[in-house]
Amino acid sequence: MSAYQYYEFLAIDRPLTEAEQAEVRETSTRARINATSFVNEYHYGDYSGDTRRILSRYYDAHLYFAEWGSRQVMLKLPTRLVDLQRCEQYWANPGCTISRGKGTVVFDFSPDFEDDGEWEDVWDEGDLGVSLASIAGVRSEIAVGDLRGLYLAWLAAYGRWEIAEEAFPPDDEDRLEPPVPAGLGRLTFPQRALVDFLRIDRDLLAVAARTSTALADAAWPGVDEAIRRLSESDKDGLLSRVAAGEGAAVRLELARLAAGDRSNAVDDPEKRRTVGELLDAAAEHREQRLQRERLAAAAAADARAAAEAKRERTERDRRLREVARDPETAWERVGQLVEVGRSGEYDEAAHIVEDLWTLAMRDGHQDAVRGRLVELRSRYARRPAFQRRLDERDIPAANE
């Protein structure tokens, strides 16, 4: 039985050497591998390599998707760029875990959607509009102290509780949310991509953002000022690393120095909500949103119906004026159409007869027109399809 799986790795801080690419190639003969990326898709079979080991040794970011619901993003950063004490507040298992390696920290975002049918879809990068490249920016954001990505991963983990009651222990309902970062109401492009990939419920996100303050424009010293503050030996070390091909990593470190502390997170326990409170508020927000959408849809349908009724009235008034200008030509046209003997012509002829009868009732000429209707029905008595159309429009018959 086929099952679609997608694997992707990115080398961001340093490209892989040819020797390293050859080592990675040993784990897959089918993957598309170059100095900065690894991409492989499976419809049958599975990747034989250890994704965590491959990330640890060669790459900086990893994305995995399987059609049965599994989704995973892993981001690796040098330990010196991570405030572990702050980051570990966003721990949720499963969903948002942090592990330490040799000089590195790996953030693992993997809320488990397996066996939840409503989450299943076949991965298509073009349709979903999400790729590892679009999400990887969360890595540099974490490095400079923007922890919105971690909060989003935590939210995705506990958001699954709404569709999987056994996802977490019951006591977790009373667990306080981690510090709410500033700027949840205005996410960056990588953060929005992460929201899409982790399928974070939009109502839960809206509720979570209620206590998030605006992201202030911090008075950072800037990269130039950060460089001036470095010692000569530190500058020489950074230049040596740039020359060795670590320019991206150096830029990230300088950005962290320039950014300082930009968390602006709400860290007051009195203002933080429990998991249960967030989920309950999201359910209420969802019902209110759906009610607004239902009302808006009904109003739109009413507006469309009113517009269509107005259009029909305008068209009917136009036809009546045209028939009123020359009734005899209209009667002749009826005969010509009926003689054709086709469904469309019968419809048009019946419309004209209806207009003639409407004008007769409006102007008080019913008796004169009734006589012509009797003659018309008699002449085409063997045209039951035409007669039926007249009956449907309440056109008088001979005995009425």
pLDDT tens-digit map of 324-339:
999 999 999 999 999 9
Statement to judge: residues 280 and 135 lie in one domain: yes
Statement to judge: residues 361 and 252 lie in one domain: no
Q: What are phi and psi of 159, to 5 degrees?
A: -65, -25
The structure tokens 């929201």 sit at 195
Residue 179: CB atoms within 10 Å: 21
Contact 251, 257 (CB under 8 A): no
Measured at the CA of 321, the angle between CA 316 and CA 326, to 5 degrees, comes to 130
Contact 38, 32 (CB under 8 A): yes
Statement to judge: residues 143 and 218 lie in one domain: no
Residue 377 is assigned to a structural domain of this protein: yes
Residue 42 is assigned to a structural domain of this protein: no
Q: Considering its fold, how many domains does the chain have in total? A: 3
Give the span between the Cα atoms of 276 and 250, in whole angstroms: 42
Statement to judge: residues 253 and 278 lie in one domain: no
Residue 74 is assigned to a structural domain of this protein: yes
Residue 253 is assigned to a structural domain of this protein: yes
Q: Is 183 left (phi over 0), alpha (psi -120 to 50) or beta?
A: left
Residue 320 is assigned to a structural domain of this protein: no
Residue 10 is assigned to a structural domain of this protein: no
DSSP state of 166: T
Statement to judge: residues 67 and 135 lie in one domain: yes
Statement to judge: residues 125 and 222 lie in one domain: no
Statement to judge: residues 105 and 254 lie in one domain: no
Residues 286-303 pLDDT 10s? 999 999 999 999 999 999
| Structure tokens, 22 | 């050859």
Give the start-end residues of each E strand in 221-313.
Answer: none
Statement to judge: residues 65 and 111 lie in one domain: yes
* Full residue range of the structural domain in which residue 250 is found: 214-264
DSSP assignments along 312-344, one per residue: HHHHHHHHHHHHHH-HHHHHHHHHHHHHH--HH
Statement to judge: residues 194 and 109 lie in one domain: yes
Predicted pLDDT of residue 271:
83
| Structure tokens, 62 | 């990893």
On whether the pTM is more than 0.85, the answer is: no
Residue 199 is assigned to a structural domain of this protein: yes
Predicted pLDDT of residue 69:
83
Statement to judge: residues 206 and 73 lie in one domain: yes
Residue 301 is assigned to a structural domain of this protein: no
Predicted pLDDT of residue 258:
64
Low-confidence residues of the chain, pLDDT below 70? 1, 112-130, 162-167, 216-223, 226, 245-247, 255-267, 398-400
Statement to judge: residues 173 and 248 lie in one domain: no
Statement to judge: residues 242 and 137 lie in one domain: no
